């Protein structure tokens, strides 16, 4: 390996490291999530959760469609992420469909809300949103009452046609030029 190859390898490694540091959660811009983005909520907002969990603990807040919401306090024993917290709280067996949100207390007194994507077919949290659970976190689990019929109707009314086929444009013009979708 000569000097030119090692210089190229160093430059590529540096760019890769820089790109890894500058990227965030890839699914935060998706509209299919409960919230469309992570946000900071002040302490006096209407939908702010209760107090933070005690040191070394986190809270799983269950919000069923019918019935009373309840909060369960759990202890953090070693490294823990959102999916592991759901398994520990036995939420995956309780709800077939759910919307998840991780709420983290900030040192300034507010809350940082992070939507979490849950794949109901694999019964797992998406890897890019499987955040680490820290002491004081609240994992808000809201039961989702929708059914597969509702999913099909949403698919049909969102312009993609029945089951994702149909009226989606195959080609078109934009102000930057023309495009063609393969397939």
Tens digit of each residue's pLDDT (9 = 90 or more) over 82-112: 999 998 888 888 888 889 999 998 888 888 9
Q: What is the pLDDT of residue 140?
A: 92
Do residues 31 and 37 touch, judged by C-beta distance below 8 A? no
Do residues 135 and 59 touch, judged by C-beta distance below 8 A? no
Q: Which domain holds residue 108?
A: 38-148
Do the domain assignments include residue 138? yes
Domain count, the chain: 1
pLDDT digits (tens, 9 = 90+) for 24-78: 434 333 333 344 556 665 554 445 555 555 568 889 999 988 888 889 898 888 8
CATH code of the domain containing 58: 3.10.20
**What confidence tier does 131 reach under pLDDT thresholds 50, 70, 90?**
very high
Helix (H) or strand (E) holding 4: helix 3-22
Q: How many Å apart are CA 183 and CA 179, to the nearest integer?
A: 13
Do the domain assignments include residue 21? no
Question: Helix-strand-coil percent breakdown of the chain, rounded to 5?
Answer: 25, 25, 45
- CA distances to 44, 61, 168, 171 from 100, in Å: 22, 10, 30, 36
Do the domain assignments include residue 69? yes
Do the domain assignments include residue 43? yes
Do residues 34 and 139 touch, judged by C-beta distance below 8 A? no
Distance of CA 111 to the CA centre of its chain: 16
Do the domain assignments include residue 167? no
């Amino acid at each position: 390996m000569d000097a030119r190859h090692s210089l190229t390898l160093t430059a590529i490694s540096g760019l890769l490291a820089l790109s890894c540091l500058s990227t965030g959660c890839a699914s935060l811009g998706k509209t299919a999530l409960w919230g469309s983005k992570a946000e900071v909520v002040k302490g006096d907002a209407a939908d702010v959760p209760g107090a933070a969990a005690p040191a070394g603990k986190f809270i799983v807040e269950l919000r069923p469609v019918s019935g009373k919401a309840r909060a369960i306090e759990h202890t953090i024993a070693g490294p823990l992420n959102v999916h592991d917290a759901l398994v520990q709280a036995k939420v995956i067996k309780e709800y077939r469909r759910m919307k998840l949100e991780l709420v983290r207390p900030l040192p300034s007194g507010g809350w940082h809300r992070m939507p979490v994507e849950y794949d109901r077919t694999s019964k797992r949290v998406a890897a890019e949103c499987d955040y680490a659970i820290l002491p004081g976190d609240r994992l808000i689990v809201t039961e989702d009452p929708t059914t597969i019929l509702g999913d099909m109707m949403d698919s049909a009314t969102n312009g993609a046609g029945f089951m994702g086929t149909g009226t989606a444009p195959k080609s078109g013009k934009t102000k930057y030029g023309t495009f063609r979708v393969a397939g």
